Amino acid sequence: MKNFREIGLAVFTCLAVTGCGDGAPAATDKVSVAENTVQTANAAVDADTRLVVVFGDSLYAGYGLDREEGFAPELEKALKARGLTVSVHNAGVSGDTTAAGLARLGFALDGLPKKPDLVLVGLGGNDMLRGIGPEQTRANLDAILAELDRRQIPAMLTGMLAAPNLGADYSAAFNPIFPELARRHDVPLYPFFLEGVVGNPQLMLPDSIHPNAAGVDVVIGKLTPQVARALAD
């Protein structure tokens, strides 16, 4: 994780100046939170189509990207290229903490056209950036996965790593959250969402936090096989 270590200072500089994804991009041709919500709530899904929901923060929402460049539409394209009949619904909200995600989970699930075949959970990055206690992050993610299990909805977890300048103690408490919860709830884990992307300026937006379109392509290339296996299981 040397690359992640190198951008630690840039992460916190961005957080202090811009909020790093607390709102939708300013450009009108970029995806907004409201547009995502409407798309997720209103899109019909055929009975034979597998429904995948990506439930997370700005990394899932497609922050700063054109509509078709974000994580959800690119994941759908990649899964279809593997021969799967699938619809990927974007339930990412920029700026979401795990607490905010937990608060909106029921509303997001109840507004879907049918019960999902898989929900990807990608939250925790904003908790880390704001220095929220890892015990709160753990409890909120635990509750999200428990609710999905209660509803008998298969889940998959994508992890995050703490910026090194938060200190060794914070990293030691934060980083194990994702593998430990994946084991507890028996769900697949992709350990670090930005693996192979973070720290490479050619793959990141100018804020050094969010992937650009090329960076999303790298994430999709690494993550899609595991999503396909989760759907097959």
- Whether 142 and 99 have beta carbons less than 8 Å apart is answered as no
Catalytic residue among 32, 87, 185, 210: 210
> Strands, DSSP E only, in the chain?
50-56, 86-90, 118-122, 155-158, 189-190
In the residue annotation, 48 being an active-site residue is answered as: no
Q: For 6-41, give the secondary structure using H, E and C.
A: HCHHHHHHHHHHHCCCCCCCCCCCECCHHHHHHHHH
- pTM of this prediction exceeds 0.75: yes
CA distance 142 to 11: 26
Catalytic residue among 32, 58, 171, 208: 58
Closest CA to 127 of 119, 138, 118: 138
Joined together, the tokens standing for residue 193 give 């969402």
pLDDT in tens, the chain (233 residues): 444 444 444 444 344 333 444 433 333 334 444 344 434 444 678 888 999 999 999 999 999 999 999 999 999 999 999 999 999 999 999 999 999 999 999 999 999 999 999 999 999 999 999 999 999 999 999 999 999 999 999 999 999 999 999 999 999 999 999 999 999 999 999 999 999 999 999 999 999 999 999 999 999 999 999 999 999 98
CA distance 127 to 117: 27
In the residue annotation, 58 being an active-site residue is answered as: yes
What is the maximum span of the chain, computed from C-alpha positions, in angstroms?
49
Element (H, E) at 74: helix 71-81
- Whether 188 and 229 have beta carbons less than 8 Å apart is answered as yes
pLDDT at 233 (0 to 100): 86
Domains in the chain, CATH or no CATH each: 2-22+33-232 (3.40.50.1110)
Catalytic residue among 94, 127, 207, 208: 207
DSSP alpha helix (H) spans, 84-212: 98-110, 125-129, 134-150, 168-174, 177-185
CB-based burial, 93-109: b 16+ in 10 Å, e otherwise: bbbbbbbbbbeebeebb
pLDDT at 43 (0 to 100): 60
In the residue annotation, 210 being an active-site residue is answered as: yes
